[in-house]
Amino acid sequence: AVFSVKQILAGVAKVGDSVTVRGWVRNRRDSKAGLSFVTVSDGSCFDAIQVIAENKLTNYNSEIVNLTKDCAVIATGKLVESQGGGQSVEIIADSIEVTGFVENPDTYPVSPKRHTVEYLREHAHLRIRTNLISSVMRIRNTASVAIHDYLQANGFYWVHTPLITASDCEGAGELFKVTTLDFDKLPRDDKGKVDYKQDFFGKESFLTVSGQLNVETYCMGLSKVYTFGPTFRAENSNTTRHLAEFWMVEPEMAFADLNDNMAVAQGMLKHVFKAVLDKNGDDMAFFAQFIDKSVATRLEKMVNDDFEVVTYTDAIARLEKSGRKFENPLYWGVDLASEHERFLCEELVGKPTIVTNYPKEIKAFYMRQNEDGKTVAAMDILAPGVGEIVGGAAREERYDVLVGKMQALGMDPASLDWYLDLRRFGTAPHAGFGLGLERAVSYITGVQNVRDIIPFPRTPKNVAF
Ligand code: 4AD
Ligand code: MG
């Protein structure tokens, strides 16, 4: 029967069974005794399985001794206890069928030597065949599923919010415009020139920067909801933590305040950490060996330890008191720069840190104004090695306060009339947050650049593949 490598190593097939594995050659070495040891990986888990080919196999000289990394094979044989070290079991092959050789192995882009992450990004279609990227992607999968598991277990409904939208949720103007390719149908001005300002069948529209506004409407009916999907930002930032297309999960809860919000964000992240430790021990061991030896232990610690909570005002005071020289200005009222965020959670606190109650001027229009008149009920979660991984807030549910805020920011309340309806018809306190999946997985794995956390990164300089 056919088994995945993961199933075989987990003992699903028994010693003595006839098994078939299918995958890609990780490496091959020949012994003088007329044996070839072929390790086969199918991506189901970190480890590969060793297949022993004897020279009596009919294609031994014609094919097997020519196998190189990533040739695709179907191997069938008897599962036996391993003679050497490494794995507990191996396969003595009855046959190895080669479904595809690798052309020109010497110039094959992901040959067995170690490659830089920058080089691998240029071969994004082949880099899944490296240990680094396959470990990241298995963990990305675990994290995504664990997010759903946690929210579903806690009574949240998954709502599919639109990717095409007319509103700029964050108000930062970092929008990609949606246009139709059908040139003849594009709206034209008096002179017959295409009017690119309005081009989604005559209306201006964009790719969403956040599903929050839409998911808030469902929150005011289903009580606990979340949206989880691709999100787009046209920010021209070439940093290790910005992508033009990334994945965000955005839970939203009715009758909830900032404390409830922090509890869910923290509970969800801990559940994700635990799932990765339970399911991806081998992948985490690889990161501990090659990236940062503290990654697995810090996750273990955080499953049981609470995040630090600090107000923005206290964070500024602690940063100032540290005496550290920063490149960016630091005073009450500034938006924290990445260097501030990282110094705070890495050096001053030493673990994920929730910063609350930011000045209202630096945060989005929908955040709930605090009694002090100066701050809003916002929270960001900062993670060592990354900086901000979560942004969230209690929402301004008071109609007059919200309209006043929009006017103060120069927004036209009429443009979001549907959103204001939620405050006209049965308004209720509510809160929510957004977790960037790539940044979370970057913290979990220690892999520093979000471009290596998403299969095909979209950045200002890269839309290849
Ligand atoms: O802080 P942000 O902008 O918050 C929102 O979008 C809210 N509407 C969320 C909510 O309350 N429902 O973004 C949330 C998170 C950030 O903390 C970060 O992890 C991630 O999204 N993020 C990015 N990740 C990768 N590349 C980018 N360009 C990102 N911009 C934000
Ligand atoms: Mg933010």
**Same-domain pairing of 360 and 426:** yes
416 and 273 assigned to the same domain = yes
The pLDDT tens digits of the residues spanning 320-365 come to 999 999 999 999 999 999 999 999 999 999 999 999 999 999 999 9
Domain co-membership, 257 together with 302: yes
- Ligand 2 centroid to Cα of residue 381, in Å, is 9
pLDDT confidence band for 173 (50 / 70 / 90)? confident
In a domain, 134, yes or no: yes
For residue 222, the domain's CATH number is 3.30.930.10
Note whether 102 and 149 are same-domain residues. no
Domain's final residue, options 51, 74, 107: 107
Residues 166, 22: one domain? no
Residue 243: inside a domain:
yes
User: Average pLDDT of 85-90?
Assistant: 85
Residues 142 and 92 in one domain: no
Average pLDDT over residues 175-194: 81
Q: What is the residue-wise DSSP string for 129-168? A: GSHHHHHHHHHHHHHHHHHHHHHHHTTPEE----SEES--
ipTM greater than 0.95: yes
As a whole-number percent, the residues of the chain with pLDDT over 90 amount to 88
pLDDT score, position 461: 78
Atom of ligand 1 nearest to the CA of 235: 28
* Nearest CA residue ID for atom 2, ligand 1: 391
Q: Phi, psi at residue 369, to the nearest 5°?
A: -70, 135
CA–centroid distance for 242 within its chain: 11
Alpha-carbon span 150 to 143, nearest angstrom? 10
Per-residue pLDDT of 103-139, as tens digits, reads: 999 999 999 888 999 999 999 999 999 999 999 999 9
pLDDT band at 185 (very low <50, low <70, confident <90, very high): confident
Residue 156 lies in a domain: yes
pLDDT of residue 196: 67
Length of the chain: 465
Residue 402 lies in a domain: yes
10 Å Cβ neighbour count for 203?
Answer: 10
Q: What is the pLDDT of residue 257?
A: 98
- pLDDT per residue over 226-243, tens digit each? 999 999 999 888 899 999
Does residue 192 fall inside a structural domain? no
Query: Atom 31 of ligand 1 has which residue's CA nearest to it?
Result: 436
Tell me if the pTM is above 0.90. yes
Predicted confidence at residue 78, as pLDDT, reads: 98
Q: Please report how the helices 258-279 and 437-445 are oriented relative to each other, as an axis angle in degrees rounded to 10.
A: 50
Q: What pLDDT, in 10s, does the model give residues 400-423?
A: 999 999 999 999 999 999 999 999
Q: Within this chain, do residues 73 and 165 fall inside the same structural domain, yes or no?
A: no
- Give yes or no: residues 335 and 429 share one domain: yes
- Coil/strand/helix, residue 344: helix
State the pLDDT at residue 221: 98
Q: 87: pLDDT confidence band, cut at 50, 70 and 90?
A: confident
pLDDT bin (cut points 50, 70, 90) of residue 56 is very high
Q: Is the pLDDT of residue 203 over 90?
A: no
Whether residue 171 has pLDDT greater than 70: yes
**pLDDT for 197:** 67
Claim to verify: residue 134 and residue 94 sit in the same structural domain: no
Looking at the fold, whether 98 and 137 belong to one and the same domain comes out as: no
Average pLDDT, the chain: 95
Query: Three-state DSSP class for 190?
Result: coil
Output the CA 336–ligand 1 centroid distance in Å. Answer: 15
Side-chain-side CA neighbours of 169 within 13 Å: the count stands at: 24
Number of domains in the chain: 2
pLDDT tens-digit series, residues 268-287: 999 999 999 999 999 999 99
Q: Are residues 268 and 347 in the same domain?
A: yes
Residue with tokens 């929908």: 366
- Residue 230: the pLDDT is 98
Residue 306 forms part of a structural domain = yes
Determine, yes or no, domain membership for 268: yes
Residue 290 has pLDDT above 80, yes or no: yes
Q: 297-301: long-range contacts (C-beta < 8 A, 24 or more apart)?
A: 298/351, 298/384, 299/273, 299/444, 301/351
Lowest mean pLDDT among 1-5, 113-117, 178-182: 178-182
Share above pLDDT 70 across residues of the chain, in percent, rounded to a whole number: 99
Distance of CA 283 to the CA centre of its chain: 16
Substitution candidate for ligand 1 out of 165, 210, 237, 250 with most atoms within 8 A of CB: 210
Which of 401, 290, 386 has its CA nearest to residue 344? 386
Asked whether residue 65 is assigned to any structural domain, the reply reads: yes
CATH number at residue 21: 2.40.50.140
Full residue range of the structural domain in which residue 57 is found: 5-107
pLDDT at 108: 95
Q: What share of the chain is helix, strand, coil (3-state, %, to 5)?
A: 35, 25, 40
DSSP state letters, 66-119: G--TT-EEEEEEEEEE-SSSS-SEEEEEEEEEEEEPPSSGGG-TT-SS---HHH
Regarding whether 153 and 41 lie in a shared domain, the answer is no
For residues 21-46, average pLDDT: 96
Strand-pair category, 18-31 with 35-41: antiparallel
Q: Cβ < 6 Å from ligand 1: which residues?
A: 169-170, 210, 212, 233, 235, 242-243, 246, 248, 250, 388-393, 432-434, 436, 438-439, 450
E-assigned strand segments in 235-279:
245-254
List the alpha helices (DSSP H) in 239-390: 258-279, 281-290, 295-304, 312-321, 338-342
Determine the pLDDT at residue 407. Answer: 96
Q: How confident is the model at residue 61 (pLDDT cuts 50, 70, 90)?
A: very high
